[in-house]
Amino acid sequence: MYHFIEDLIQHPVFYYFSKISKIPRGSGNEKAISDYLVRFAKERHLEVKQDAALNVIIKKPATPGYENIPTVIIQGHMDMVCEKNTGTVHDFEKDPIQLRIVDDMLYATNTTLGADNGVAVAYALALLDSKEALHPALEVIITTEEETTMGGALAVDPSDLKGKILINIDSEEDHKLLVSSAGGIKVTQSLPIAWEEAPKNTAAYSISVRGLRGGHSGISINKGRGNSNKIIGRILADLAAEIPYYLQKICGGSATNAIPRETDAIILVSENSIKKLEAKIAEWNTILQYELKTSDPEVHISLNFVEFEFTHVFSEQTKQKAIASLMLIPNGIQSMSMDIEGLVESSTNLGVVTTSETELHFASDSRSSVKSLKVDIVKKAQLIAEVLGCELIMENDYPEWPYNPDSKIRKLFEKVYKEKHGTDIEIIAVHAGIECGILIDKIPGLDAISIGPDMYNVHTPNEHLSIPSTINNWEYFLSVLKEMKSFDWEE
């Protein structure tokens, strides 16, 4: 067991993980990490290309004896979700991730770790740097903006790649092979704000939802965790039925692909309503602590006086439409797979709510492994938007990755695993967006698999990575590459 970071980084994978953890790489801010990858390749005299989307492709020739084996594409993404605990002083645009070891797990310090998908980058760099690993010709492609738009993968020029075998390293469960994933789309409902003058003799209060666990909006959508945006909608709807108040602002969540943990709403109330307001917030704490006692035991709602004097508030019609939006926009599991037990088939996550000077924006990440069901979710969103007089914007549409029963790379991974462990590896599908679907769409006949070590609570400040699992998965990965020489690819 490793106890100190200094010892851990002696391992090549963690050496490179620590290197990239010092470089800003939030989605949309990948220039520095992209340039680092280019320098890495040039220093080792490897063929490299950086495209307009800042994707980086690095090619390494086959080791002796592997020249006639099919070329393998190794793929992951360089960007990470940037989340931090409230009160944490950390600038993701310049500050390094502070790594720490707890037992056999690697954590950051009050921020996301970036193991999703820094592990893929670390594996790729360790492999490219290795003089001992045996492998066929490699085409390593590290993409950008996977966590937000899939823009990097969507911008890949397939003519830059010759390989027909893809090993994606963006899975989060060791001892499992990922063979299928959901497609997705970002849907944003925009509600025009009609402002009116703030009434006199009112006080401003902030209602804040805190203490939720959050998580990846695909991987964790089946865990029943609270969505802070939906919760604030329920609270505002309940208050509207009993207490006269004016709504000034709603803000919650930071990424559509993360279940929102924190949401704030600012309301203005008269002095004679304050005690009733306090009682209602106490009531909601009791309600939510009962409802979410298993999934989010630390949930709490706070009410805080805001000293700032607001001059404008939403009109009553805007307020009602905002509440209706929070209540009606679909959220959570929409359908379960009838083919794979326990697999979420379709879902949607109301991930981000923001207030600008002119509009309220309600942004959702919708997913499905069945294209027609993804379309159905979008149609429901369109109807809600039309009824409420809102504009609906659809973007970042990406395809699903269908299961391939004849996959040769899956059979090779299965063979090596059984020889290594004496048991069959588990085959899984995931309710999340994996870039495999986009690359398969671009490269006809591409045979894909996805692997990765055990990660927990990704997209949250409690994200952590199993150290022994990372090492085990790395050795498994190398064993498969080595075994490619003796595998019958014509079978």
Write the DSSP assignment of 179-204 as a string of letters.
EEEEEEEEEEEEEEPPEEEPPSSEEE
Question: Per the structure block, which two tokens stand in for 220?
Answer: 């964790």
Q: Are residues 237 and 122 in the same domain?
A: no
Number of domains within the chain: 2
Shared-domain flag, residues 241 and 327: yes
Q: Do strands 56-60 and 138-143 pair parallel, antiparallel, or not at all (unpaired)? A: antiparallel
Residue type, 479: S
Q: Could you tell me which of 273, 352, 269 has the C-alpha nearest to residue 313?
A: 269
DSSP state of 97: P
> Same domain for 380 and 240?
yes
122 and 23 in a single domain? The answer is: yes
User: Hey, is 158 helix, strand or coil?
Assistant: helix
pLDDT of residue 388: 97
How much is the pLDDT for 310?
Answer: 95
* Residues counted in the chain: 491
Burial class (CB in 10 A: 0-12, 13-18, 19+), 46: middle
Angle at Cα 19 formed by Cα 481 and Cα 128, nearest 5°?
25
Task: Judge contact between 388 and 324, C-beta under 8 A.
Answer: yes
Out of 30, 83, 116, 146, pick the active-site residue.
146
User: Quick one: which of 181, 142, 167, 16 has its CA closest to 480?
Assistant: 167
Our answer to whether residue 238 is catalytic in this structure is: no
3-state secondary structure of 82: coil
Residue whose structure tokens are 């990406």: 398
CA 39 to chain centre: 27
| Nearest-angstrom CA–CA distance, 17 and 37 | 13
CATH number of 452's domain: 3.40.630.10
- CATH number for 275: 3.30.70.360
Structural domain includes residue 426: no
Longest Cα–Cα distance of the chain, Å, equals 83
Rg (CA), the chain: 24
Residue 305 backbone zone (phi > 0: left; psi -120 to 50: alpha; other: beta): beta
> Catalytic site residue 307?
no
Asked if residue 491 is part of any domain, the answer here is no
Among residues 261, 213, 262, 267, the alpha carbon closest in space to that of 236 is found at 267
Does 44 share its domain with 103? yes
Q: Do 353 and 236 share a structural domain?
A: yes
Residue 264 belongs to some domain of the structure: yes
- Cα–Cα nearest to 118, from 177, 76, 166, 163: 76
The residue range of the domain holding 88 is 5-171+434-483
Query: Contact at 8 Å (CB) between 168 and 438?
Result: no
Residue 148's pLDDT is what? 86
155 lies in the same domain as 191: no
pLDDT the model gives residue 491:
65
Positions of the chain with pLDDT lower than 70, given as ranges? 491
Q: Which of 79, 139, 365, 435 is flagged as catalytic?
A: 79
CB neighbours (10 Å) of residue 306? 16
Same domain, 241 and 386: yes
Question: Is 159 within the bounds of a domain?
Answer: yes
SS3 content of the chain, % helix, strand, coil (to 5): 30, 30, 40
Q: What is the pLDDT of residue 433?
A: 80
| Contact indicator for 57, 141 with CB cutoff of 8 Å | yes
Examine the domain organization and report whether 210 and 329 are in the same domain. Answer: yes
Burial class (CB in 10 A: 0-12, 13-18, 19+), 1: exposed
Rounded to two decimals, what is the model's pTM? 0.75
DSSP codes of every residue in 302-328: EEEEE-S--SEEE-HHHHHHHHHHHHH
Cis peptide before 117 (omega within 30 of 0): yes
